Chains A and B, each alone.
Chain A
Amino acid sequence: MSGASMATGAPAAPAYRKVGSLRRERRWALIGAYAALAVFVVFFLLPPFHMLITSLKSSAEIADLSGNPWTVSRPTLENYWALLTHGSYPIHFRNSVIVTLCTVAITMLISIPAAFALARMRFWGSTVLATGVFLTYLVPETLLFIPLFQIIGGMGLYNNMWAMVLIYPTLTVPFCTWIMIGYFGSIPKELDEAALIDGANHFQMLWKIFIPVALPGILAATIFAFTVSWAQFLYPMAFLVSSDQMVLTTGIVSDLIRGDTFQWGMIMAGALLAALPPLLVYAFLMDYYIAGLTAGATKG
């Protein structure tokens, strides 16, 4: 208020000074911004960093209470070597890969046609169904794991990793369908009309126009499905008990902790390797990853 009245009172000089102060303000804001960012980057990256440091230590160095836990004096890869050559870690990794790949494939096969139908082919109940899909996405797995435990048991799939392939789509399909509806909906209707005039049927339209045009959206949905199935913890925890059926998220803990002996070096090495696939996907496809993340709320 006072600044405005001053500016009208004395035209040139205060306005000039104000520009200078703005620039100074901006510089201080930038310095403050970098300081805040640095603090949070340290906070956010501390656990993975400590994970890496521990994974490079020998058991003796970890057990040595006089050492510095934040540095490694004699780095070794023996934890990684032991993990990959002995024990069932490679089996867990393989199971995780199989379950995740199958889930992603099933998710895409279900959600792409469904999203196409819901976005373009209005039919009785289609808007209700679209809303229902969104609500399903909001149902957390902690609400359903007990009845699913009974259902899986009844189907004879208890302690069978293929049960995961059956159940995981409940976590991925609703969200993927939802964001694909958004992406398909944003494709101009003129394209459909052009295709129809050229004599394309609905499948050709989906295959030759919608999928290529909405490819970024499909990629974002694929990444989402991949990260969700790779990270899932509750279902394997509840439904898988024997080591040869376990996936990474549950296998690391159950295999490397024997009673009171915690093999921390190997646990951290295993955790780091398990975190690597999503981190790599994220590093190389960050824009699609973020698009998938924000699409749920920004697309309608």
Chain B
Amino acid sequence: MADGNTITARGIPAAIAPPRAGTLQRLARRRSTLAFLMTLPLLAVIGGLVVYPFFYAIELSMLNKRMTRFVGLDNYVFLLGRETFQLVIFQSVLFAVSAVIAKALIGFVLAHVLHTLPARGQRKWRGMLLVPWVIPPAISTLAWWWLFDPSYSAFNWLLAGIGAAPVPWLGDPGWARFAVILVNTWYGAPFFMIMYLAALKSVPDQLYEAAAIDGASAWQKLRYVTLPMMRNIISITVLFSLIVTFANFDIVRVLTNGGPQDRTHLFGTYAFQVGIQSGDIPLGAAVSLFMFPLLAIFAIFILRGVSRRTKEGL
């Protein structure tokens, strides 16, 4: 093959060969120019509305409140020393970690349960179980808000039915923290369910058959077949959900608006209150930038998981 090529290449008269290479080169150049033009709008959106705002946020966060003077890291230092902000850090971590664990567990159980059903019934149940994910969270949280209403709470009505005392769902810091985590779990668990279900379906049946022949119990099948096969998708989903939950805004904003006594504020809602409502743009930018290191670490791990998946697929 190689020999044949060189021979024909040598055989071509010199006069024809160079122009042919030239057209090829020009074609390649034209093709890449065309490709560049086709990605230009994408580059404009990412560059102009994501990358530029990000660096602009860093610049903003180093200005004083009137945005007239450069103050370096003063805003960050000020925030770290403020007790409210320490509460925000604590609550964001608590909120994200506990909600993601709850979502992952519920999603895992539901995916397994759905997977055992016959295919025909599965669709119907799956359809109903995905509803919380479909309703926009800012909208569905209104329903939760109403369910948690201090005087008309339908949950408290049920509790009164069994003789229990009414619960101050959104009035007490502990309960309010529980309430925002509960609503986030309600909203996000279906996503985990659907991801895990897709992963479960991709595990080949032969592996389970082989495990059954080796005398594996149900638990052993789960531990040594299902979990290793799903490990990558579990880690991608958990990391992705950590990012989204950590950066949550809608649920807390509608349900508690950070209260009572700023105990349920997350980075997003606190940045909104400081930056937009109180008008201290630089401080607000600093609050939301505090999320960045953690998000970046999660993102890198997700990228690693996804590229490993791609390589396995090839």
Using CB atoms and an 8 Å cutoff, list the residues of chain A in contact with chain B.
1, 3-4, 29-30, 32-33, 36-37, 40-41, 43-48, 50-51, 54, 62, 65, 68-70, 109-111, 113-114, 116-118, 121, 123-124, 126, 129, 131-136, 138-151, 166-167, 169-170, 173-174, 177, 202, 227, 230-231, 233-234, 237-238, 248-250, 252-253, 264, 267-268, 271, 274-275, 278-279, 282-283, 286, 289-290, 293-294, 296-298, 300
Instruction: Assess A143 versus B289: contact at CB under 8 Å? Given A29-B116, A44-B131, A44-B190.
Output: yes
Q: How far is the CA of A45 from the CA of B143 in the complex (A)?
A: 11
User: Are A297 and B306 closer than 8 Å at their CB atoms?
Assistant: yes
Least distance between B151 CB and chain A CB atoms (Å): 7
Q: Which residue among A65, A69, A124, A289 has the maximum number of chain B CB atoms within 10 Å of its CB?
A: A69
Is B281 interfacial (CB-CB < 8 Å)?
Answer: yes
B128: contacting residue among A44, A233, A278, CB under 8 A = A44
Is the beta-carbon distance between A143 and B54 smaller than 8 angstroms? yes
Chain B residues whose CB sits within 8 angstroms of the CB of A151 once the complex forms: 53, 56
Residues of A within 8 A of B246 (CB): 140
**How many chain B residues have a CB neighbour from A under 8 Å?**
100
Q: Is the CB of A297 within 8 A of B233?
A: yes
Given contacts A70-B154, A142-B247, contact A267 B142 (CB under 8 A): yes
CA–CA, A294 and B126, complex, Å:
14
Sample 6 A-B pairs with CB under 8 A, ordered by A number.
Answer: A47-B143, A47-B144, A117-B35, A146-B271, A169-B45, A268-B143
Complex Cα gap A240–B41 (Å): 26
Residues in chain B near residue A296, CB distance under 8 A: 240
Q: Which B residues touch A69, using CB under 8 A? A: 152, 154, 157
A300 near B309 with CB under 8 A, answer: yes
- Cβ 8 A contact of B39, one of A33, A44, A117, A290: A117
B143 touching A271 by the CB < 8 A rule?
yes
Across the interface, which residues of A come within 8 angstroms of B146, CB to CB?
A: 50-51, 54, 264, 267-268
Provide the bound-state CA to CA distance between A230 and B136, in Å. Answer: 8
The smallest C-beta distance from B46 to any residue of chain A, in angstroms, reads 5
* Cβ contacts under 8 Å, A43 to chain B: 186
Q: Are A234 and B139 in contact, with the CB atoms below 8 A?
A: no
Known contacts being A44-B129, A143-B247, A148-B49, is A297 close to B236, with CB within 8 Å? yes
